[in-house]
């Protein structure tokens, strides 16, 4: 009997709509440097975690940004 092979998924995005810079860049099909440039120019909304002081992108915000492009 053969085992069923299931594709790997990113559990972070499956559990939470918040993405890291690297995950958001992959989602938008952008280079992380390009995404960081867009953030510094205020073109894409970003949130900063108060507890870890890390940048996070909300998937809904990214979807809205894609719709405006």
* pTM confidence score: 0.70
Give tens-digit pLDDT for 23-53. Answer: 999 999 999 999 999 999 999 989 887 788 8
Domain membership of residue 36 as a residue range? 21-55
The answer to the question of residue 44 being in a domain is yes
Give tens-digit pLDDT for 48-65. Answer: 877 888 889 999 999 999
The length of the chain in residues reads 69
Residue 22 is predicted with a pLDDT of: 95
Structure tokens at 36: 């960081």
Task: Indicate the number of domains in the chain.
Answer: 1
Neighbours of 14 (CB within 10 A): 7
The answer to the question of residue 26 being in a domain is yes
55, containing H or E segment: strand 55-58
Residue 13 is predicted with a pLDDT of: 47
Residue matched to tokens 């990113």: 10
């Amino acid at each position: 009997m053969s085992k069923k092979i299931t594709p790997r998924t990113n559990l972070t995005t499956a559990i939470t709509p918040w993405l890291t810079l690297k995950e958001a860049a992959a989602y938008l099909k952008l280079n992380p440097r390009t995404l960081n440039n867009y953030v510094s120019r205020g073109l894409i909304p970003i949130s900063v975690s108060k507890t870890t002081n890390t940048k996070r992108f909300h998937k809904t915000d990214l979807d809205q940004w894609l719709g405006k492009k």
